[in-house]
Structure 1
Amino acid sequence: MGPLEDDDTAEITPEEGAAGLRAALRLLEHWQATPAQVQALLGAPDAETVEAWRQDDLGAGLPPETVLRLGILLGIHRGTRALFSDPVRGHAWMRTPSALFDGQSALERMAQGSIEDLIAVLGYLTAEAQ
């Protein structure tokens, strides 16, 4: 069983979830994600939920899919940092249209909403960083 399937390793504390969410929200600001993109990237059901999360009102905690998305987003950030020594260039790359993503930017590709879209960007960055 892999780490995402193992119940013991997949559990995070509410504090860890909140810290990951804060980091991802800051990252999305650097990427200049629109409110609709933020909602799609986090897998939030609506804009009100995103706003509550911004205010650290996690209610019963983050949905497991959002926790997975946070991990992928932070992995993407790590990948851009490995490819670009200047973080500003890495942030700009996220918004730059690319043939890699059929003329879309990485951000636009990921904002289509599926986890597979996030994984596609992460996969590209992981392969390039090796």
Structure 2
Amino acid sequence: MSIASAQYDDNEILAMTRAAAALVARWGVQDEAVERLLNGEGRAAALLGIHRALRCMFADSDRAARWIGAPNEAFDGASALDLMLADGLSAMKRVKAYLDAETAG
């Protein structure tokens, strides 16, 4: 049994997936990439955690959406979005850890 299925019931997983889908649409993710971001266990929760961290950093949601697609030296010049599309859940965890460290300071 995975952590995601142990932590959340089916209704909660569905609600998180819907919220994450709306979030990535707000970030301007193209339709063909949305499924790549959302398809996999734990990804919706990870994306919502990234969103929460971005909201701590930026009061303006448009600025947060721009950050996700902007090149970032912390990711070797790639954007957080490009990193997550390329490396999936492990990259989402990396982005979340980076944001957590930034907001902890």
Does the alignment reach a TM-score above 0.5? yes
- Aligned twin of 2:28: 32
Of Structure 1 and Structure 2, which has the larger fraction of its residues in helix? Answer: 2
Deviations 1:26-66 (A, max 9, x none): 000111112232122113xxxxxxxxxxxxxxxxxxxxx42
Task: Select the residue among 37, 43, 47 that pairs with 1:41.
Answer: 37
Residues 16 and 44 in structure 2, CA contact (< 8 A), matched pair in contact too: yes
Q: Which runs of 4+ in 1 moved over 3 A?
A: none
Q: CA RMSD in A?
A: 1.9
* TM-score of the pair, normalised by structure 2: 0.87
Are residues 1:21 and 2:17 paired? Answer: yes
**Stretches of structure 1 lacking an aligned partner (at least 5 in a row):** 44-64
Number of equivalences: 103
Please give the per-residue CA displacement for 1:78-112, whole angstroms capped at 9, x wherever unaligned. 01000001111011100111111111111111111
Shift of 1:12: 2.1
Any stretches of 5+ residues in structure 2 without a counterpart?
Answer: none
Q: How many Å separate the matches in 2 of 1:113 and 1:124?
A: 15
Shift of 1:126: 0.7
Q: CA deviation at 1:11?
A: 4.1
How high is the TM-score relative to the length of structure 1?
Answer: 0.72
Where does 1:1-130 land on structure 2 (aligned, <5 Å)?
4=3, 10-43=6-39, 65-66=40-41, 68-130=42-104
